[in-house]
């Protein structure tokens, strides 16, 4: 085997923002607050997770609207339940994912997923998208007691795939992924077609991926 390519999920393999925002808005609707997040404008918030979406929505309610104590803790399980029931209604793989994964396998690379999405939801989503069998391992945000940017989930994903950290790299879309790679002492490529677009270059990753068509050549150059 040549090496291991580790993928983030949301915002890297698939655009999940619309389904994530719909789940948060379902919580706001249940409180009579309407849709507080916008599918187009709030994509970046969505990729920071469920609690980040809830907090962003609460911050937009009128000053005289009172939330009960512990609203976030009350709403978070509801958000997850709504999301699980509608996990791939609008979610789509980014262009070129299938072909890139096939090409990487043809280069004898191991493939893994390391995400901060809860493991059961990540498993369900990858199966709905038809690509779960492409990956030798999956580590979710609750698989271990710690999550990215702690390096241990990344290391566990590589180990579970049968690889070695020294012969691996991470493909992601956020500063969390950049920090994870730095902590694990591996290279990181960030996608420039995610929610932040080309502006992600500000994080100075080892490489920018403009399209999945570029990934096999990048992996060949970095991993042999």
* pTM exceeds 0.85 for this model: yes
Long-range interactions of 148-153: CB distance < 8 A, separation 24+ = 148/114, 148/115, 148/116, 148/176, 148/177, 148/179, 148/180, 149/176, 149/177, 149/179, 149/180, 149/182, 149/183, 150/180, 150/183, 151/180, 151/183, 151/184, 151/185, 153/114, 153/180
- Pairing state between β 110-114 and 92-93: unpaired
Identify the segments of the chain with pLDDT beneath 50: none
What does the pLDDT read at residue 1?
A: 60
Q: Which tokens go with 118?
A: 């809860």
User: How far does CA 34 lie from the centroid of its chain?
Assistant: 26
- Pairing state between β 207-209 and 187-191: parallel
Let me know: does 175 contact 11? Beta carbons within 8 Å. no
What does the pLDDT read at residue 194?
A: 86
Which among 141, 223, 211, 131 has a CA at the least distance from the CA of 176?
Answer: 141
Long-range interactions of 97-101: CB distance < 8 A, separation 24+ = 97/13, 97/14, 97/131, 97/212, 98/131, 99/212, 99/213, 100/212, 100/213, 100/215, 100/216, 101/131, 101/134
What does the pLDDT read at residue 164?
A: 98
Let me know: does 172 contact 60? Beta carbons within 8 Å. no
Q: Is the peptide bond before 149 cis (omega within 30 degrees of 0)?
A: yes
Active site residues: 8
What does the pLDDT read at residue 87?
A: 97
């Amino acid at each position: 085997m040549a090496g291991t390519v580790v993928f983030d999920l949301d915002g890297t393999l698939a655009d999940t923002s619309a389904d994530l925002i719909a789940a948060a808005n379902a919580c706001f609707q249940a409180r009579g607050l309407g849709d507080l997040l916008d599918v187009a404008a709030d994509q970046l918030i969505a990729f920071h997770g469920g609690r980040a979406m809830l907090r962003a929505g609460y911050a937009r309610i009128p000053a005289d609207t009172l939330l009960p104590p512990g609203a976030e803790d009350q709403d978070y399980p509801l958000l997850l339940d709504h999301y699980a029931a509608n996990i791939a209604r609008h979610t789509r793989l980014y262009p070129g994912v299938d072909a890139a994964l096939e090409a990487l396998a043809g280069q004898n690379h191991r493939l893994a997923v390391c995400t901060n999405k809860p493991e059961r939801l990540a498993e369900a989503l990858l199966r709905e998208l038809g690509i779960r069998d492409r990956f030798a391992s999956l580590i979710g945000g609750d698989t271990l007691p710690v999550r990215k940017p702690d390096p241990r989930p990344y290391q566990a994903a590589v180990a579970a795939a049968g690889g070695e950290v020294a012969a691996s790299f991470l493909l992601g879309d956020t500063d969390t992924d950049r920090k994870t790679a730095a902590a694990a002492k591996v290279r990181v490529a960030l996608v420039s077609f995610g929610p932040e677009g080309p502006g992600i270059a500000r994080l100075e990753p080892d490489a920018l991926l403009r399209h999945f068509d570029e990934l096999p050549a990048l992996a060949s150059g970095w991993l042999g």
